[in-house]
Amino acid sequence: MSLNPTPKARVENLVVQELQDEVLIYDLVTNQAHCLNASAAFVWKNCDGHTSHDQIVSAFAANWSCDSPRDLVEHAIEQLHESHLIQSPQITSRSSSRRQLLKNLGLASAAALPLVQSLVAPKALYASVNCACVSNADCIVQTSCPAMTCGPSGQCV
């Protein structure tokens, strides 16, 4: 993978909550929540636009005992880029697949594998109202509901 030599993490329009072993990030633009494990969070925090890719790899190797720190950092940066948490664009895509990376890692390296888990979160409007329904008419009558159609789960959609 050919990466930007000084990757920069996106920090605007994000709500960041650091926990003991992970970082939770809520993207206010896409309404996506991202959970970065410790190694992915380490890479994201080091993507400051000034630290070079090679320096991030060296720092990663110093913090995690692993066989291929460069592959792991590249994997983390690719995941962060796919999650729109890196500002700097990728130049080319990864030459080997994630499956191949996992296959090539030793057991010690697997523990350092960066992981970014993402999910789309409901908008606050949808989460804060109770729009239970039996028919479409129920949704129309409830002025607090953001939708007009009764979905299969009994919620206005």
Write the CA distances from 49 to 36, 91, 154, 157, integer angstroms: 19, 16, 47, 42
Task: Find out whether 113 and 69 touch, Cβ atoms under 8 Å.
Answer: no
Kindly list the averaged pLDDT for each block of 10 residues, start to end, along the chain of length 157. Answer: 75 91 90 91 94 93 86 90 80 52 54 72 54 62 59 67
pLDDT value for 118: 76
pLDDT value for 88: 62
The helix/strand/coil state of 17 is: strand
How many whole angstroms separate alpha carbon 91 and alpha carbon 155? 43
How many whole angstroms separate alpha carbon 10 and alpha carbon 36? 14
pLDDT value for 95: 47
Q: Report CA torsion sign: 72, 75, 79, 85.
A: positive
pLDDT value for 50: 92
pLDDT value for 48: 93
CB-based burial of residue 145 (10 Å sphere; 0-12 exposed, 13-18 middle, 19+ buried)?
Answer: buried
HEC per residue, 83-130: CCCECCCCCCCCCCCHHHHHHHCCHHHHCCCCCEEEEECCCHHHHHCC
